[in-house]
């Protein structure tokens, strides 16, 4: 979930993303969508805040997963039009099973690459998400892309 082109230190960029994952509870490919705010700390690091949501079902239950995460991202080439990156973060996860809510603290790790153009950026990312640190076996991978552009705020 990369965020916007031509970022300089102290820039905030807003973007959107979508990814697919197979839930640990079973079922098929599930779509997760979200919104990101990325704050460039310096040439090599940024912080990303994300809100994500996915709805899915198995034969027995209806699920909804909503997360609010903060991730520190290291940009391997610094400021570059091609931007490979890695990151790790923590978040608040709310999982509803048949309407009953269960909240927890979770972790994520990610790796991705983005291409920055004049007015927008696109990218591909692989993320490992553990939505409940008390149940590490609930972890899953998501693979997806992102698009950023339009809203860029210099501070």
Contact 1, 44 (CB under 8 A): no
Q: How does residue 27 score in pLDDT terms, banded at 50, 70 and 90? A: confident
pTM of the model: 0.84
Each residue's pLDDT tens digit, 8-18: 445 788 889 99
CB 133 within 8 A of CB 105: yes
Which letter, b or e, does each residue of 80-98 get, where b requires 16 or more Cβ atoms within 10 Å of its Cβ? eeebebebebebebebbee
Domains observed in the chain: 11-149 (2.40.160.20)
DSSP of 20-64? EE--TT--S-EEEEEEEEEEE-SSSEEEEEEEEEEEEE-SS-EEE
- Which has more pLDDT, 5 or 112? 112
**Residues 45 and 74: beta-carbon distance below 8 Å:** yes
Confidence of residue 116 (pLDDT cuts 50, 70, 90): confident
């Amino acid at each position: 979930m990369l965020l916007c082109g031509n970022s300089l230190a102290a820039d905030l960029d807003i973007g959107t993303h979508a990814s697919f994952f197979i839930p640990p509870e079973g079922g098929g490919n599930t779509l997760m969508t979200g919104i990101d705010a990325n704050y460039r700390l310096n040439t090599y690091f940024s912080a990303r805040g994300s809100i994500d949501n996915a709805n899915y079902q198995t034969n027995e239950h209806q699920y909804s997963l909503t997360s609010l995460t903060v991730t520190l991202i290291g940009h391997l080439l610094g400021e570059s039009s091609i931007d490979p990156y890695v990151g790790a973060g923590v978040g608040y996860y709310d999982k509803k099973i048949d309407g009953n809510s269960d909240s927890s603290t979770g972790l994520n790790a990610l790796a991705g690459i983005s291409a920055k153009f004049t007015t927008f950026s696109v990218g591909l990312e692989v993320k490992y998400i553990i939505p409940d640190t008390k149940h590490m076996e609930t972890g899953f991978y998501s693979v997806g892309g992102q698009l950023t552009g339009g809203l860029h705020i210099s501070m």
